[in-house]
Structure 1
């Protein structure tokens, strides 16, 4: 398993190394990153031909990896899409739902950033499955080097307002 925080040479962990780290530090949680920017020098896309088979395959594959490595959660980090926002939302939402309901994972995070296509897909996910998202792993590194602190704060506020909007929408359902 590659350490996704490494921007240079990847660091590889074995299942026993992950367990050792978690045993030494009881507060450490380890997640599998799903998506990202690229794979094999090309963009990483979510491109389901059909929702049910995609979810079934993802649940099966990820359950095996998560259990083998004793991982705690998943981080959804797609940056490129060959699916509309609704199929993306349904695929990822059903994946998270199944993994949580079967207790394969204890948390799920998403990793959006300020890009129109990324925003449209993650907003669709928030609207239907926001109650399943535990953390937002905001991609500060996805911005130009000259981005100011004030701009970062504005980007962060936008992401925070997405979650707040989900809570407001949920509250309206119960009025």
Structure 2
């Protein structure tokens, strides 16, 4: 198992907040064994069916600024900070980016090609990729649990076979939890981390937060399950920072938490003090809070 604790930070190409100019290196705590920046999102290309529903073709493209987050900049980042990895997240937030393949087999073939193009060509530096992993992050899924597990599983299998050492994470949330459970059940050894989005549901107390996490451990395992907090104003009100902090302190004390992730860097720069949540989370993980 990979070293713990782990901290992960989403960098989302959102149109709602000013774009981030580069990696937020000021939040990297060198006492964290693994620090992951997650570039979001590589999103599907869609067509509409007769009823106006979006159907995916499997042709992924990067929605972040590939000039600001280039292969060269990632190589330099990793050279300066030991333990830092860079991951790309597939999917997107909300109903604008559903998982709903128009044709399963065509979607799988296109996804393999387009994602390999991003990882192994767009992000190649001196004959090797600088991307360390992928993150599956669909918040809206139209297909069945079996189809989701089948399609995503085929893509994971191909990319891990093609690209040596590729780390894979999934990002379940309450509305689509059954889909991610099916995916995990079918690929338990291929999935390294589980970024659970606590901010996508109402969590009114520390007690409920801790109990929910322990219930999720039964499915995903204590060594892979990470707790997530969002600084996006659109997620405000579902779980407070006070409940989240108290909950993770209790989980760490009982040996029930492998790490924390925060979404996202752009929104965190707008709060006061900027990037407070990221720094606080890492202090908690290293016992220096």
CA distance in 2, matches of 1:49, 1:89: 16
Tell whether the 8 Å contact from 1:44 to 1:78 is kept in structure 2 after alignment.
Answer: yes
List alignment gaps of at least 5 residues for structure 2.
1-9, 21-64, 124-129, 222-289
Q: Does the Cα contact within 8 Å between 1:32 and 1:75 map onto a contact in 2?
A: yes
For the residue of structure 2 that corresponds to 1:30, the secondary structure is: strand
Tell me the residue number matched to 1:9. 18
Q: Which residue of 52, 66, 91 corresponds with 1:35?
A: 91
1:45 alignment partner, SS class = coil
Select which of 79, 82, 102 maps to 1:49.
Answer: 102
Tell me which stretches of 4 or more aligned residues in structure 1 moved more than 4 Å. Answer: none
Match of 1:156 in 2: 213
Equivalent residue pairs, number: 157
Give the aligned partner of residue 167 of structure 1: none
Residue 167 of structure 2 is matched in structure 1 by 107
Q: Hey, what's the Cα distance between the residues in 1 that align with 2:143 and 2:101?
A: 7
Residue pair 2:194, 2:220 contacting (<8 A) in 1 also = no
Q: Please say if 1:75 is aligned against 2:135.
A: yes
Give the Cα–Cα distance (whole angstroms) in 2 for the partners of residues 105 and 54 of structure 1.
Answer: 24
Cα shift readout 1:60-114 (whole Å, capped 9, x = no counterpart): 1111111222211111111101211111000111111110011266110011122
Deviation (angstroms), 1:154:
2.4
More helix by share: 1
Please identify the structure whose Cα radius of gyration is greater. 2
Are the equivalent residues in 1 in contact too, given 2:134–2:167 (CA < 8 A)?
A: yes
TM-score normalised by structure 1 residue count: 0.79
Q: CA deviation at 1:119?
A: 1.4
Contact 2:136/2:170 (8 A) holds in 1: yes
Give a deviation string over 1:16-61, Cα, whole Å, max 9, x none: 21221112113111111111314xxx52101112222111111111
Aligned-partner Cα distance in 2 for 1:119–1:112: 6
- Note if 1:141 corresponds to 2:191: no
Structure whose residues are more often strand by fraction:
2
